[in-house]
């Protein structure tokens, strides 16, 4: 199948959306599908205010649609609600072309965290954007229920995976991280206000707090919490070694839809602590982590989990299964024509 994926989030950005799309596209191509990625690197763009590494494309519906048409796409998936996503949506709606979308981010809560805007206003936009889609792909049952409560009932499950060759129980721990006073508590991800990292760094559980990642809140948080260890971004084997060196992985976000880093940490045998919110409540089990409104309590409980159980559970998340769910949810043009 010839699949066009339109996304405002793409390399060189480093986030869960980009990593998910890259992994699934790799699986799709390995299965014989042809994939076109319509991303900001194809068009002129501007830096996003407060997030300059995120580029906002200046392309409109015509430019996006021309790329889809020239490719001869049999199915269109719109991954994000940004400028390119809007252009693709308008092009598809104008031509009564079926398409699917995905709800990757708790966008109303994300915008509220950064701007103070009432989430109800953002939900109006979300309902407008996703309403015409044949299917809305959601990563967890909690997100599905959230969308359905907003009247978006055409939800299909789209899980996540880990690179099992990279993240596994036999990864050698990073010796520098491992040598820190324990227990070593690790966060991996964007260093930004919506990730609620200050709640982790301000928790009173003893040990060493390690931050892997980069983002606009780095300078403020490193100055505010000088005892924490900010190591910058890590990738590949270096990232896996960081997971393996930690005694517990801490996921303080209250706005994520899944939390890919959680299952990567689990696959390396590291238990997870978080709040009882969307993401952790859908991923964690009593054997693999802990959730509590007191993050220190969650950390203390997670430290008692068996690492072998965590690794076995984390290895159950595969990108092959994720790609199959993605394909099953698509709305190929041939299927729609056959039903007409």
Q: Which residue has the higher pLDDT, 105 or 242?
A: 242
SS3 42: helix
Q: What is the DSSP letter of 174?
A: P
pLDDT digits (tens, 9 = 90+) for 191-239: 988 899 999 999 999 999 999 999 989 999 999 999 999 999 999 999 9
Place of tokens 């991800």: 189
| Domain regions of the chain by residue span | 2-161+319-339, 175-314
Kindly give the residue spans of alpha helices, DSSP state H, lying in the chain: 16-30, 61-71, 83-94, 107-115, 119-130, 141-149, 175-178, 197-201, 218-224, 236-245, 260-267, 280-283, 295-302, 307-314, 319-329, 333-339
Cα–Cα distances in angstroms (integers) from residue 314 to residues 171, 189, 271, in the given order: 14, 18, 10
pLDDT at 340 over 50: no
Report the DSSP beta bridge partners of residue 212: 188, 232
Q: Which is nearest to 274 in space by CA: 186, 207, 208?
A: 186
pLDDT of residue 50: 61
Q: Which residue has the higher pLDDT, 42 or 129?
A: 129
pLDDT at 246 over 60: yes
Q: Which is nearest to 159 in space by CA: 4, 7, 23, 2?
A: 23
For domain 175-314, give the CATH number. 3.40.50.2000
Across the chain, what does the average pLDDT equal?
91
Beta pairing, strands 51-57 & 45-48: antiparallel
For domain 2-161+319-339, give the CATH number. 3.40.50.2000
Rg of the chain on CA atoms, in Å: 20
CA-angle at 166, arms to 330 and 264, nearest 5°: 65
Fold match, 2-161+319-339 / 175-314: yes
Query: Using CA atoms, how far apart are residues 111 and 131, in angstroms rounded to an integer?
Result: 20
Backbone angles phi, psi at 104, to 5 degrees: -85, -30
What predicted TM-score, i.e. pTM, was given to this entire model? 0.87
């Amino acid at each position: 199948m010839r699949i066009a994926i339109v996304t405002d989030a793409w390399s060189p950005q480093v986030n869960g959306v980009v990593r998910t799309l890259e992994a699934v596209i790799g699986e799709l191509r390995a299965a014989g599908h042809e994939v076109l990625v319509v991303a900001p690197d194809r068009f002129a763009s501007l830096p996003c205010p407060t997030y300059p590494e995120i580029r906002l494309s200046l392309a409109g519906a015509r430019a996006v649609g021309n790329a889809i048409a020239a490719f001869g796409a049999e199915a269109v998936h719109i991954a994000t609600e940004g400028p390119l996503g809007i252009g693709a949506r308008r092009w598809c709606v104008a031509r009564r072309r079926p398409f699917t979308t995905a709800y990757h981010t708790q966008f109303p809560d994300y915008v509220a965290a950064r701007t103070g805007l009432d989430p109800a206003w953002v939900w109006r936009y979300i309902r407008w954007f996703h309403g015409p889609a044949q299917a809305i792909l959601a990563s967890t049952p909690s997100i599905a229920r959230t969308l359905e409560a907003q009247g978006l009932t055409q939800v299909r499950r789209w899980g996540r995976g880990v690179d099992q060759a990279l993240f596994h129980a036999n990864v050698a721990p990073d010796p520098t991280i491992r040598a820190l006073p324990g227990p070593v508590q690790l966060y991996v991800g964007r260093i930004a206000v919506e990730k609620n990292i200050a709640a982790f760094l301000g928790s009173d559980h003893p040990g060493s707090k390690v931050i892997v990642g980069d983002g606009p809140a780095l300078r403020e948080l490193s100055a505010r919490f000088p005892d924490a260890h900010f190591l910058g971004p890590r990738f590949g084997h270096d990232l896996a070694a960081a997971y393996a060196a930690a005694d517990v992985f801490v996921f303080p976000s209250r706005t994520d839809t899944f939390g890919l880093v959680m299952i990567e940490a689990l696959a390396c045998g590291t238990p997870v602590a978080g709040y009882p919110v969307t993401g952790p409540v859908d991923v964690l089990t009593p054997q693999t982590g802990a959730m509590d409104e007191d993050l220190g309590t969650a950390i203390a409980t997670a430290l008692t989990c068996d690492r072998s159980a965590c690794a076995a559970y984390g290895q159950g998340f595969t990108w092959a299964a994720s790609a199959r769910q993605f394909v099953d949810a698509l709305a190929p043009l041939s299927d729609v024509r056959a039903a007409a």
